Amino acid sequence: MTENHQNSGFEEEGVALVDDAAETGFKVIQKYLNTLDNSPGVYRMLDARGEVLYVGKARNLKKRVSNYARLTGHTARIGRMISATAQMMFLTTQTETEALLLEQNLIKQLKPRYNVLLRDDKSFPNIVVTTHHDYPQAQKHRGSKKGQGMYFGPFASAGSVNRTLHHLQKVFLLRNCSDSIFSSRTRPCLQYQIKRCSAPCVGKISREEYAETVQDAIRFLSGKSTAIQAGLAKQMAEASEAMEYEKAGSLRDRISALTAVQTSQGINPQGVSEADIIGLSQEGGQACVQVFFIRANQNWGNRAYYPRTGAGAEPAEILEAFIGQFYGNKTPPRLLLLSHEIENADLLEEALTTQLGRKVELLVPRRGEKRVLVEGAERNAREALARKMSETATQTKLLEGLAAAFGLEKTPERIEVFDNSHISGTNAVGGMVVAGPEGWMKSSYRKFNIKNTELTPGDDFGMMREVLDRRFRRLLKEDPERKTDMWPDLLLIDGGAGQVSATVTALDALGVEGVAIVGIAKGEDRDAGKEEFHRPGKRPFSLPHRDPVLYFVQRLRDEAHRFAIGAHRTKRAKAVGATPLDDVPGVGAMRKRALLAHFGSAKAATRAGLADLKAVEGISDAMAESIYGFFHSGE
């Protein structure tokens, strides 16, 4: 069967299971060779249950698949994959670059067992220098670059951005207040007093002088700090000669702050103005990829990634998969410096060039400064991987100890910990944190706003039943056959026998079996170390006071408690700031602020006449009628 996709430019061949459903291996693959041509495309290898084992791309589908049909010459990893293959599916594309992009999309969507998978794919923060205001400011920015301003980045972390912004304030004295606060100031704030702002809000600096400092900040972010430092030194000397010692001292402090920035960056390459340096280290079937961000000849931080290696892939495959997935939602630099050669460097260059709109080059340097930079990235990757493996080994021992202490049939791979938070039943929130062999799985954390209005305020058991009902009802809908790793092996509940009973009731109602349940009660005097553990149908027990497993369980419970309290406080803060205007269709944050500023309170706005509402800036006649009708519909 062949289905044409006119818009996407590729054809898909949906291949049914082979006649003998039990037949797997290279003979199954051989049967597809006669159906393939030399087109580029993407192939999928599936097991007897229809689960995708591997997604790959090919310049020539027939040639690539014929490699899998051979009896020998495969690595142990590829041999296991071939032996499990019961069927294949193919997508032909018009170009090799399309095949590359399609492959990465399918890997992210399907998460096949034998593919290299980038598990941490968050966006990076940038610094934006705003241009919509007479007195611009430098701010941290995430997301699309649609606002007015000049963007600099990416930075490896929010901490890197915050440190740079802190130094920018010390060196260039740029404001960091909001536009509304800026316009309402009548005297300088504390930032001016501690020499972190030039107080443009009250005229302590002219618009022209402030604009010059903004340009200096832009030049610094563009890598021209040496010229800025020389200019500041000249101004300091002139101030000193004129006996303006206070001004000279201020300029000296700014020069010191600028020097501190340059020192803290560590790596400041002279011959590389813009590049991402990517170093790979492998050991024991695990891998670490370190990425250093070099922009404007400055080091803007680095980050370590631990991709799932698909049961032991080679370095070339790991790096190629990492680059394809990493830049799927990020803007690539002009140069990527790699620690290892990759097979399809030309395809990746073409895809990234198309994405960036200008030439992108992939390079494996052999000598010189570029090689030194790559060796530094490799060294950091090697050290980070060693730390990670040490932590994983410790975590594995703790999980094995946990299984022994709680009488589990196997060492848990996924632990979900639940807790509730509320004040006398108000703003009730349930929290779920997740841990596994590699530590906290923060991308899997979830909060649950308690929705059942029939619950008695403060009914912790009822809240727990609702949270678990919603959690497992969704699991049953998304993965009824438990094929993914999203099903927990152990549930830890913050509470005693009552909470455990509520948990059992919720799971029994859904027909969920095979999930171990343990409740953590505070114990005598609610002291840490005296916790009692409750299991369904068994007597409660305690662990020795200095048992590492006890400390481990305490950390799990405390993390769930922290997360639930944080979610509750956020919800409570929103409730405190809530007004009747929030319920009016079409009234968002900006219109709400305009109404509150005009009338002084939400109550006054709800009682205002139609003519008064129409007089509010930013409120159209139609919107004024809508607001008036919402609050006066009964008149």
- Crossing angle for the helix pair 245-264 and 225-241, to the nearest 10 degrees: 160
Q: Is 286 part of a structural domain of the chain?
A: yes
State which of 214, 242, 264 marks the end of a domain: 264
Whether residues 366 and 424 share a domain: the answer is no
CA atoms within 13 A on the CB side of 32: 30
| Weakest-pLDDT range from 151-160, 226-235, 318-327, 509-518 | 226-235
pLDDT at 510: 94
CATH number, domain with residue 612: 1.10.150.20
- Please write the tens of the pLDDT for every residue from 83-121: 999 999 999 998 888 898 899 889 988 889 899 988 766
Give 152's DSSP letter.
Answer: E
On whether the CB atoms of residues 435 and 555 are closer than 8 A, the answer is: no
Whether residues 334 and 420 share a domain: the answer is no
State which of 110, 140, 162 marks the end of a domain: 110
Whether residues 436 and 550 share a domain: the answer is yes
The structure tokens 């790559």 sit at 374
Whether residues 292 and 340 share a domain: the answer is yes
Short-list 582, 624, 631, 579, CA closest to 607: 631
Longest dimension (CA), the chain: 95
- Please, which pLDDT band fits residue 53 given cuts at 50, 70 and 90? very high
- Please write the tens of the pLDDT for every residue from 249-287: 777 776 776 666 555 444 567 788 889 999 999 988 889
Q: Which amino acid is at 354?
A: T
pLDDT at 22: 54
The structure tokens 């009338």 sit at 599
- Please, which pLDDT band fits residue 18 given cuts at 50, 70 and 90? very low
φ, ψ of residue 490 in degrees (nearest 5):
-145, 135
- Please write the tens of the pLDDT for every residue from 458-502: 788 999 999 999 999 999 998 888 878 899 999 999 989 999 999
State which of 531, 549, 574 marks the end of a domain: 574
Alpha carbon 8 to chain centroid distance?
A: 29
On whether the CB atoms of residues 241 and 257 are closer than 8 A, the answer is: no
Q: Which residues are CB-contacts of 191 (< 8 A; sequence separation ≥ 6)?
A: 169, 175, 176, 177, 197, 199
Q: Looking at residues 297-306, what average pLDDT do you find?
A: 86
Q: Is 405 part of a structural domain of the chain?
A: no
- Please, which pLDDT band fits residue 344 given cuts at 50, 70 and 90? confident
- Please, which pLDDT band fits residue 10 given cuts at 50, 70 and 90? very low
pTM for the model stands at 0.70
In the sheet that holds 361-363, the strands lie side by side as 298-305, 286-295, 274-283, 335-338, 361-363
CA distance 208 to 203: 11
Whether residues 608 and 624 share a domain: the answer is yes
Neighbours of 285 (CB within 10 A): 11
Q: Which residue has the higher pLDDT, 480 or 241?
A: 480
Supply the range of the domain harboring residue 70: 2-110
Whether residues 234 and 257 share a domain: the answer is yes
- Please write the tens of the pLDDT for every residue from 209-220: 899 888 888 887
2: pLDDT strictly greater than 80: no
Q: Is 401 part of a structural domain of the chain?
A: no
- Crossing angle for the helix pair 345-356 and 315-326, to the nearest 10 degrees: 10
- Please write the tens of the pLDDT for every residue from 63-82: 999 999 888 888 888 899 99
Across the strands, what pairs with 146? Answer: none
Cis omega (within 30 of 0) for bond into 154: yes
Question: Please, which contacts does 563-567 make with residues 24 or more away whose CB atoms are closer than 8 Å?
Answer: 563/419, 563/431, 563/432, 563/433, 563/445, 563/447, 564/419, 564/420, 564/421, 564/429, 564/430, 564/431, 564/447, 565/421, 566/431, 567/421, 567/429, 567/431, 567/447
Q: Looking at residues 327-342, what average pLDDT do you find?
A: 91
Whether residues 539 and 626 share a domain: the answer is no
Q: Is 345 part of a structural domain of the chain?
A: yes
1: pLDDT strictly greater than 70: no
pLDDT at 194: 87
Whether residues 280 and 228 share a domain: the answer is no
Whether residues 439 and 361 share a domain: the answer is no
Q: Looking at residues 143-154, what average pLDDT do you find?
A: 82
Residues in the chain, overall count: 635
Q: Looking at residues 361-374, what average pLDDT do you find?
A: 93
Q: Looking at residues 412-438, what average pLDDT do you find?
A: 88
CA distance 617 to 419: 46
3-class SS of residue 301: strand
On whether the CB atoms of residues 263 and 274 are closer than 8 A, the answer is: no
CA torsion, ordered 475, 481, 482, 487, to nearest 10 deg: 20
Q: Is 257 part of a structural domain of the chain?
A: yes
Q: Which residues are CB-contacts of 591 (< 8 A; sequence separation ≥ 6)?
A: 618, 619, 623
Whether residues 480 and 353 share a domain: the answer is no
Q: Is 409 part of a structural domain of the chain?
A: no
Q: Looking at residues 160-166, what average pLDDT do you find?
A: 83
Whether residues 194 and 172 share a domain: the answer is yes
- Please, which pLDDT band fits residue 527 given cuts at 50, 70 and 90? low
Q: Looking at residues 174-189, what average pLDDT do you find?
A: 86
Q: Looking at residues 620-635, what average pLDDT do you find?
A: 81
Q: Is 403 part of a structural domain of the chain?
A: no
Parallel/antiparallel/unpaired status of strands 516-521 and 490-494: parallel
Short-list 331, 398, 383, 378, CA closest to 358: 331
Q: What percent of the chain shows pLDDT beyond 90?
A: 37
pLDDT at 469: 94
> How many distinct structural domains can be found in the chain?
5
| Weakest-pLDDT range from 339-343, 396-400, 529-533 | 529-533
The structure tokens 């600028």 sit at 258
CA distance 399 to 393: 10
Q: Looking at residues 169-187, what average pLDDT do you find?
A: 85
pLDDT at 319: 94
Whether residues 228 and 320 share a domain: the answer is no
Q: Is 30 part of a structural domain of the chain?
A: yes
